[in-house]
């Protein structure tokens, strides 16, 4: 039953890579977006701290 479903009527070499590519792009975009945000936030925090220390 499971193997029959995974075989996708013989189209598995095309169906599953399509879903994997989409999943990869979805996860990668989440990781990249969060990393870009964290980097910008940490940079802004560093600046705020150095401004506070200078004053």
Partner 1 sequence: MNWTWFHRLGSPPHFFRIAGKMIPWFAWAALIAAIAGLIGALGTAPPDYQQGEGYRIIFVHVPAALLSTMAYAVMAAAAGVGLIWRMNVAHAVAASSAVVGAWFTFVALATGSLWGRPMWGTYWEWDPRLTSELVLLFLYLGFMGLRSAIDDTARADRASAVLALVGVINLPIIHYSVDWWNSLHQGHTVLKFGKAAMPPSMLVPLLLMMLAFTLYFAAILLVRTRGEILRRERTARWISEAIGSG
Residues 1-40 that bind partner 1 (CB under 8 A): 5, 8-11, 14-15, 17-19, 21-22, 25-26, 28-30, 32-34, 36-40
Name which of 3 and 5 has its Cβ closer to partner 1: 5
Q: Is 55 near partner 1 (CB under 8 A)? A: no
CA pair distance 46, 39, nearest whole angstrom? 11
- Assigned token pair, 26: 């979805």
Name which of 3 and 51 has its Cβ closer to partner 1: 51
Measured CA to CA in angstroms, residue 32 lies from 20, 27, 35 at distances of 18, 9, 5
């Amino acid at each position: 039953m499971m193997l029959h479903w995974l075989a996708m009527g013989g189209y598995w070499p095309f169906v599953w890579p399509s879903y994997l590519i989409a999943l990869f792009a979805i996860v990668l975009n989440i990781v990249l977006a969060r990393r870009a945000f964290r980097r910008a936030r940490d940079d802004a925090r560093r600046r705020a701290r150095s401004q506070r220390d200078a004053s």
